[in-house]
Structure formats: C-alpha cells, structure tokens
Amino acid sequence: MNNTIYVTGHKNPDTDSICAAITYTELLRQQGEDAVACRQGPLNEETKYVLKYFGLENPLLMTDARTKLKDIDLDTPTLIEQDATVHHAWHVMLRTRNRSLFVVDENGKLCGVCTTSNLSSYRLQENKIIEDLMATATLANIARTIGGTIAVDIEDFHSNGKALVITLDGVDESRYQLKNSIAIMSSGMDKQIFLIEKGVGCLVLTCGVKAHEVIRKAARERGVAIIETDEDTMHTAAAINESYSISQIMTRDVICFGDEEYVPDVAAKMTRSRVRSYPVIDENGDVVGAISRYHTLNYHRRNIVLVDHSARNQSINHVEDAHIVAIVDHHHIGNIETDYPIDYRNVRCGCTCTIISKLYKEHGVTPSREMAGLMMSAILSDTLNFKSATTTDMDRQAVKELAEIAGIKDVDEYARNMLGASVDLKNATPEDILKRDLKTYEIGKYRFAIGQTNYSNREDVTLIVPSFREYMPKQQEALHLDLLVMCFTDVMGGGSAFLFYGPLSNVMSEVIETNFDEHFGFDSHIISRKQQLMPKLSELIKNM
C-alpha cells in the first residue's frame, strides 16, 4: 500500500501555491510522514527567483490525482521462458497456483501469455494436431520432459511428431510410420537395431535401460538420437506429448498495461476483455506485476493535501478520485467534497504560508532557513509587501519572525527584488502572461476567469495592451466564459489596470473607478483579486 502524501497547490501556480506545497510537505516529513511537494504547471519568474535564492529544486509536476498502477499492490507475476515445454508449464501452474503465466523471450521481454485454457485445449485435439506440435519439439525439451538424458545427440534433430510405444511383439509397420518417429521402448537390442535401420528420429529407452555402444554407434551413423530415462514406459508415453514449447500455443496478442497508467483507465479497458490476469510492464518493457479486476476495485487511492485553494475548478485533475487528507487555505471555502472529516485549516489572512507558519509553531517545529525563507517570500508576494487589502497583523508578524530565521535583514529590498522578477512583460506573449496566474470562478449560471500579473513600469503595460486586445476575445470564446478579466497590478501597490471581454463586460464599469473604453480601465485602489475585485464582482453578478 502506498501511503505517500502528495501536497499540491492550484492550477497556474503562484509563489504562495508553490511555497505552501513545499513547506507543508516539509512539516509532514518532520512528523514522520512520506510526503511529496507537487505543482500543477510551470513556475512564474517570481517563484523561480525565490527557489533559486534559497537553493531549492522545483516540486514534482503532477496534474492528475488518480492512482497509477505502480502505486498499488500488484500480484507477483509468474514468468516462464518461451522455450519452456507445455509439460513444464503445467508444473509451474500447479506449484504457483497461477492460471496465467507471462511468457518472456531471451531478453526477458513479454512476448505472450500462457493460460490453463491454452494448455488444456490442446490435450483434446486430434492426433494430427498434436503430432504437428510435437514435430517442433527439440531433443533437449523431449529429454527434459520425460526426465531423461541424451545419450546420442543429433545436431539437426527433427521428428515427424509421432510417439510410438514399442511392445515386446514389435510394431506393425503397415499401420505406423516409423521413419522420423519417436520410438519408446524398454529393452531388446535387436528391436533397437531394427528401429535405427528403419530411420526413426529418436529412440527413447525407458526403465533405466542404457544403450549399448554398438547401438550408439549405429544411431550416430544413421543420424538417430537416443534418450535414456529411468521412468517406465507408460509414464514416458503419457508425458512425452507435452514436449513442445509453449511458444507454439501461447496467446501472442497480449493485452498488457504500463505501470504509469491510471487505475480507472485500466478498469475501463478491462471491461472489454474476459482475461483473468493482465501483465503490467515498466518503461523498460520489463514485467513488474500482474493485475486483475480485483485490484481495480480494491486499491488505496492517492493521498492528497490541497493548499492555497479549495475549489474543484482550481484543483488537480480528477481530484474526486483521490483521498483528500487535508486542506490549508486562506480563500473562500470552495466546492471540494469529502466522504469523511479531514484536517481543514481556513484562516482569514493574506497568505496560505502565514497559516503554515502557525502550524509549524503548533507542532513545535522550527523551520529551516530555506523553509522560513519560502514562507516569508510567499507572504510578501500575496500581500504585495503588505500593500494589499488582504494583509493582516498575522501576516506582518509572521514575516518578522520568518525573516530573522531566513537571515533576511532588509525585507523591503528583498521584496522589491522578488516582486520585480515577475514583471517581464516585454518578452512574453499575452497567452504566457494571462496563464501565469489565471483563476476560474462560477457564480450561478455564470462562469468567469481573472488573470493577474505585476508590473513595475506602466509603459510596459501600455505597449502590450494592443496585443491583449486581439488575444483576449478569442480566449474568452474558446473558454466559453461570460467574462474574462486581465489585471495588471503595480508591484508597489499603486493600483491596477484592467482589460475585460465577454457578455458581462459591462459589469466591470461598475467595479473600477476609471473606464477608458468599454474594455479597458484603471483603479488606483484595487490590487487584490481575492479581497477587492472578487467581492464586488460576485455581488453584482448575483444580483443580475
């Protein structure tokens, strides 16, 4: 069972989302949990600056919450080489009690499946089919099947597949074709010479009988193989017809799954097949497990912690298929549902990392310099260095304490450098800028999205507005939004410029203080999407 906990922020991650995932993961590890920090998309320049400053790597990219085959307890596969005999395959099945054997080639790669159906169906076939199969059996496999040793080896051995028991009375040549057949007998040098002269393919001596040197010499001269076994004639006759390799009867069109596939996807594919057990292979093509329908109905779902969000449309894909163990957030309570109580921490403050810093204290854990630096950076980012209306005394106190641990003496200078790292508008496309931090919302029947980015020079915004005017209407239609808003916010808290498109564009004229035209405006007070823009929009849209 995989008990790993994956900690992830929202889609289009910002600094708080990434830093919250990393720092909460570290807190879980300090408590003895196996936890992994994740992200749902590329990092923005500001977040890259923070991670580089504190010498940390990017979190794991994970965009789907569903469990993969490699995360669940699979059955141990029973492997068998393609040259193994049918007789050996039966013994392997009995020993392992596994009705499906996965056949591998000389390189250990899957090449077929051998089931009880494959094996048993040929026991009921007519003699001609069995003889054709036996004609493919190697001398070594015949000897192995009957527990014998090769007394005379023939390099180019071949037989017609007929296995004949030679009795004391001999054999009726008019009824049986002796040439190239496999003759099974226990004694009688005269009969042995007779059979060799008739050109049998192989002479099988049972009951511990050893071939005389005269017989061996004659066999070598005529190209007749000799096998000696201690087993009796009846036992040998019963077993020998299973000397051909399983490669002759195995199922070659194999349904198999990769260990990176998601369990629900595999379950859906299984409904279209009646196979009992399926091989699971890794990226190298090696068989690493066996899966049946039982596994797809009884498995432990991925453990997920959501940070900096609690709305499904902002969360990781297929979050409903995961086991949510905790949520830490400072936004409105969204529409994530769970089947049981979880650890849920929602606090009205400027940043998720403010809450996480309190959790460190509650658990008696002092954050490292790196973790303190990340939490401090996230708070400065989300509050725009305390200029945002979302800022609380809790945020200020947290930054003061975390900055001391992180060794940041001048917080204002650090904030300017960090916030300035995210304002590269000249070298980015409208699509890049919009998707840096785009959040989607639903109110009643209306669906809208708001993107936000910072700027340090107003002229940079003026230069890119024309390209945004071309791009945004197309994106609004492509996403089927009633309203698409792009918010350009001054890093020093000097207000925000807004571009907006969609059927509800007229609502923005009632929200912002200055409208330059029907799609562009400015507000010197709004810098927070969450605390200032969203409440006004929500109230107006609800009353429509």
Report yes or no: 57 and 51 within 8 Å, Cβ to Cβ.
Answer: yes
Residue 258 lies in a domain: no
Question: What are the tokens at 395?
Answer: 């945020």
Residue 215 lies in a domain: yes
**Residues 200, 129: one domain?**
yes
Name the phi and psi angles at 426, rounded to 5: -70, -35
pLDDT at 423 (0 to 100):
65
Q: In degrees, to the nearest 5, what angle opens at C-alpha 312 toward C-alphas 350 and 348?
A: 20
Helices (H) and strands (E) in the chain, counts: 19, 23
**Residues 386, 415: one domain?**
yes
**CA 74/CA 226 separation, integer angstroms:** 45
**CA 131/CA 443 separation, integer angstroms:** 75
**Residues 50, 92: one domain?**
no
Half-sphere exposure in the Cβ direction for 505 (13 Å, CA): 17
**Residues 109, 151: one domain?**
yes
pLDDT at 528 (0 to 100):
85
Residue 178 lies in a domain: yes
pLDDT at 210 (0 to 100):
94
**Residues 398, 521: one domain?**
no
**Residues 202, 94: one domain?**
yes
Question: What are the tokens at 47?
Answer: 């977040």
pLDDT at 228 (0 to 100):
96
pLDDT at 44 (0 to 100):
87
Residue 476 lies in a domain: yes
Residues constituting the chain: 544
Answering whether pTM is above 0.85, one says no
Q: Which of 213, 248, 283 delimits the end of a domain?
A: 248
Neighbours of 334 (CB within 10 A): 19
CATH code for position 452: 3.10.310.20
Cα 524 to the center of its chain, rounded Å: 47
**Residues 212, 311: one domain?**
no
What single-letter DSSP state applies at residue 186?
Answer: S
Residue 145 lies in a domain: yes
CATH code for position 116: 3.40.1390.20
- Predicted confidence pLDDT, tens digits, the chain (544 residues): 578 999 999 998 999 999 999 999 999 999 999 999 999 999 988 999 999 999 999 999 999 999 999 999 999 999 999 999 999 999 999 999 988 999 999 999 999 999 998 888 877 778 889 999 999 999 999 999 999 999 999 988 989 999 999 876 656 565 668 899 999 998 788 889 989 999 999 999 999 999 999 999 999 999 999 999 999 999 999 999 999 999 999 999 999 999 999 999 999 999 888 888 999 999 999 999 999 999 999 899 999 999 999 999 899 999 999 999 999 999 888 889 888 899 999 999 999 999 999 999 999 999 999 999 999 999 999 998 998 888 999 999 999 999 999 999 999 999 988 988 866 677 789 998 898 788 899 888 999 999 998 887 788 889 999 999 999 999 999 999 999 999 999 877 789 999 999 999 999 989 999 999 999 999 998 988 877 898 899 888 888 7
Q: What is the dihedral angle through the alpha carbons of 18, 23, 25, 26, rounded to the nearest 10 degrees?
A: 150
Residue 404 lies in a domain: yes
**Residues 109, 235: one domain?**
yes
Q: Which of 388, 420, 452 delimits the end of a domain?
A: 420
**Residues 324, 441: one domain?**
no
Give the residue numbers spanning the domain of 452.
430-542
Q: Which of 393, 420, 447 delimits the end of a domain?
A: 420
Residue 273 lies in a domain: no
**Residues 241, 92: one domain?**
yes
What single-letter DSSP state applies at residue 56?
Answer: -
The three-state secondary structure class of 477 is helix
pLDDT at 176 (0 to 100):
66
Structural domains counted in the chain: 3
Q: In which region does residue 507 sit, left (phi positive, over 0), alpha (psi from -120 to 50) or beta (all else)? A: alpha
**Residues 461, 505: one domain?**
yes
Crossing angle for the helix pair 86-96 and 116-123, nearest 10 degrees?
130
**Residues 223, 152: one domain?**
yes
**CA 489/CA 528 separation, integer angstroms:** 9
**CA 110/CA 105 separation, integer angstroms:** 7
Residue 482 lies in a domain: yes
